[in-house]
Amino acid sequence: MLTFAAEGEARGGLREVDPGRDLGVVAGLIAQGFAGDLDSRAQASLREMRRLARLWPLVGWMAEADPILRESLTGFVWEEPVPGKRGLQIVANVSLNPAPGARGWSIVCNVVTRPEYSRQGIARQLTMAAIDAARERGAEGVLLQVYAANQAARRLYSDLGFRDVAGEIDLRLDAPRAVPVADAPGYAIRRVRASDGHAGLELARIVTPEPLQWMVPVRPLDYQPDALTAAQQWLSDTLSGRRTQRLAAFRGERLAGLLWIQGERRGPAHRLSLMARPEDRGQVEAALLSRGLRMLAGRAPLPVWATVFQDHAEAIEPLRGFGFEERRTLLVMKRALR
């Protein structure tokens, strides 16, 4: 599927990505196209892409021997002639990666087009090429993520057969402040202990929507860190001035809810992440959040971002009550291929 320039000029259009030649350019395109929308995971992925580009001769050799690495570097780019010059430039990209938490599924990601080339059907052709490539691999289906406010992209993906299956909402508070502590009758609120790791992992696996786990698997080391992981986390927090804490709500022996609190010294923002067992929703959220905000009140006057699952209305309500405003919703969409 190609577009053609006039006779004697460079030909542009769609082609498979050449990692050794394109990764650095694609990383720059992604950084420009998603500026301000990249969360910590996406920023880490972008840094990794740039690192791979710098180390390409070695990475290319490793990819020849490792089919998983090779698959993670696949995708397509769209080229157009450079105005007034000979040669081509990359103006759009799509990546196709194996879903780490769902064997047989693929992730369509990094769909980005330079603004001056938008609304020309390039994103549609790139996305269709990625879907066809996933089908040729024998994939059971494809997943992607898109912000709910990006209506043009959502219409495109819906037209191509994708449907919403999950989402996460980010809410923002201008600065932390001490709020009245809310009660949770029948529940004990305390700091998480090392012995709570298995219960925390079980809770995360229960409440995290399955499509989100397909894209970002729940990691046991986040809840049951070994000595090396714990030491690395402590060192990272110490060097950055960050303090990571967790609060738990228990109903007897059952872990009912969990709140992650990440307080920063210099920025860019503090973070809260909340989850609650379905049968305990509406009972523990305010108690956990009010205590978490009081813990942040003594930290730097930075914005506070809170992340909850889209279907967790019982968490959104108290967050609004504490002054948070909804800023963005990141949706997961999927399309079955067989």
**Percent of the chain residues past pLDDT 90, beyond the cut:** 70
Chain centroid offset of residue 98 CA: 15
CB atoms closer than 10 angstroms to residue 314: 18
> Residue 4: is its pLDDT beyond 60?
no
pLDDT of the residue at 54 = 83
pLDDT tier at 266, thresholds 50, 70, 90: confident
The answer as to CATH 3.40.630.30 being correct for domain 2-139 is yes
Q: Are 46 and 39 spatial neighbours (Cβ–Cβ below 8 Å)?
A: no
Over residues 94-115, mean pLDDT: 94
68 touches 112 (CB < 8 A):
no
Give yes or no on whether 2-139 and 170-331 have one common fold: yes
Per-residue confidence (pLDDT) for residue 8, from 0 to 100: 45
Q: How far apart are the C-alpha atoms of 236 and 189, rounded to whole Å?
A: 27
Q: What is residue 319's predicted lDDT score, i.e. its pLDDT? A: 97
| Residue type present at position 167 | G
- At 171, list the tokens: 């809410």
Report the pLDDT averaged over residues 306-327: 96
CB 146 within 8 A of CB 329: no
Residue 328's beta-bridge partner residues?
170
Percent of the chain predicted with pLDDT > 70: 97
pLDDT tens string 181-234: 999 999 999 999 999 999 999 999 999 999 999 999 999 999 998 899 889 988
The answer to whether 93 and 17 are in contact (CB under 8 A) is yes
- Greater confidence (38 vs 221) lies with 221
Domain residue ranges of the chain, discontinuous segments joined by +: 2-139, 170-331
Least-confidence region, from 55-59, 73-77, 137-141, 193-197: 55-59
What is the C-alpha separation between 190 and 1, in angstroms, rounded? Answer: 59
- Choice between 111 and 68, residue whose per-residue pLDDT is larger: 111
Quick one: average pLDDT of 38-55?
79
What pTM did the predictor assign?
0.87
More confident residue, 11 or 207: 207
Which of 98-102, 213-217, 240-244, 330-334 shows the lowest per-residue confidence on average (mean pLDDT)?
A: 240-244
Tell me what pLDDT residue 11 has: 66
Q: Please check the confidence at residue 96 and state whether its pLDDT lies above 50.
A: yes
Task: Write down the pLDDT at residue 116.
Answer: 92
CA dist 181 → 7, 27, 184, 250, 289 (Å): 73, 45, 10, 17, 9
What is the average pLDDT across 110-128? 94
**233 compared with 71, residue with greater pLDDT:** 233
Q: Which CATH superfamily is domain 170-331 in?
A: Gcn5-related N-acetyltransferase (GNAT) (3.40.630.30)
